[in-house]
Amino acid sequence: MTSPVPVPAPHPSGLPSDVRNWGLGAHLSGFVGAFFGVAFLGPLIVWLVKREEHPFIDHHGKEALNFQLSILLYALVGGLLMIPLAIVTLGIGLLAIIPAAIALGLLWLILPIIAAIKASNGEGYRYPVTVRFVS
């Protein structure tokens, strides 16, 4: 006699694992896209392809995309401000830009990991300091 295979209990969120995994993937795909210099491309693809399948995926895809676009905007503006600031202050102004760039890099690294954990747990997440380009 064979023993019956135990059926796993459903996730506390009630969401199937594939839905939660696509939400998680939306956030982590920014890291993959960064290898190609376009961190927003991964979340954009996940959102465009899967947004109609479940509101959870739509939410996390939009959040990840908005965050990556916001970081790109902040980096571009900071980079453009850095040039005249360096010229006017003979380079001393860069001492103010460098900590801001480090902080931006840490936000880009840490916040998607937090969001991915939330998605994996079946929870919603809204990034702070994010411009809502896509709503």
Per-residue pLDDT for 94 more than 70?
yes
CA dihedral sign of residues 28, 31, 33, 39: positive
pTM of the full structure: 0.88
- Quick one: pLDDT at residue 29? 97
Structure confidence by residue, pLDDT tens digits, 72-85: 999 999 989 888 88
Mean of pLDDT values over 56-83? 95
Question: Distance (Å, rounded) from C-alpha 75 to C-alpha 82?
Answer: 10
Domain boundaries, the chain: 17-117
Say which residue, 85 or 104, is predicted with more confidence.
Answer: 104
Question: Distance (Å, rounded) from C-alpha 50 to C-alpha 23?
Answer: 9
Percent of the chain with pLDDT over 70: 98
